[in-house]
Amino acid sequence: MDARFRCLIICGKKCCTFNNIEDSPLIFPWEKRLLERLAMNKGIGRLEFEPYAGYICGRRAYVLLYKWIIKGICPFISGYKCSIHRDKPLACKMFPLIIGWGDNTLRVSGSCPWVNDNLDSIRNSDPRKTFPDEIPYALKAFAILSSADNVARSRGWRKTVGKELLESDEIIDIDEVVEIK
């Protein structure tokens, strides 16, 4: 029988604490803007983001994903719970599923204790049965990525990650010029 994911909330805010920049959530530009608004409404200080992935056209960069740089515990955590549950980014909604953004693969995070306790069952299971609540969010993220890739292909934009985005003369959120969602 397929194992069914159960979040061990008592594992100590583990997936909402970030000690390594590599583990920072990757979020879409519209999610970044929503987080900024929520942070302002809640009186949380400035949030930190860095363009992570997108497309290049000439000297212009279109950002599809930002890295949300969280140092330590996420400012939206309240007790052991997320205070923006309905509005949190897809990366949070699908966790412990994660997307390999470079190669569009679905992965499972090894930093989640439930995952580590159930590795054998997960390997042979149908992810739709093991992660029924998380899979729809992962599929939504895949659909966005695929839609962005199609737009980029039709316009001759080149896909890129990291430094090249930052070095562009103009950096624009992709949804400011095309509808992606």
Interface residues toward ligand SF4, by CB under 6 A: 7-9, 11, 14-16, 74, 76-77, 82, 84, 88, 92, 95-96, 112-114
- Please spell the DSSP secondary structure of 102-167, one letter per residue: TTTEEEE-TT-HHHHHTHHHHHTS-HHHHSTTTHHHHHHHHHHHHHHHHHHHHHT-EEEETHHHHT
Residue among 64 and 90 whose Cβ is closer to ligand SF4: 90
Smallest distance from ligand SF4 to CB 140, Å: 16
Q: Is 113 helix (H, G, I), strand (E, B) or coil?
A: helix
Give the nearest distance from C-beta 158 to ligand SF4 in angstroms. 31
Nearer to ligand SF4, 98 or 151 (CB): 98
Which one, 16 or 180, has the nearer CB to ligand SF4? 16
By beta-carbon proximity to ligand SF4, the closer residue of 51 and 75 is 75
Count Cβ atoms below 10 Å from residue 118 Cβ, excluding itself: 18
Q: How far is the CB of 34 from ligand SF4 (least distance, A)?
A: 11
Half-sphere exposure at residue 84, Cβ-oriented, CA atoms within 13 angstroms: 21
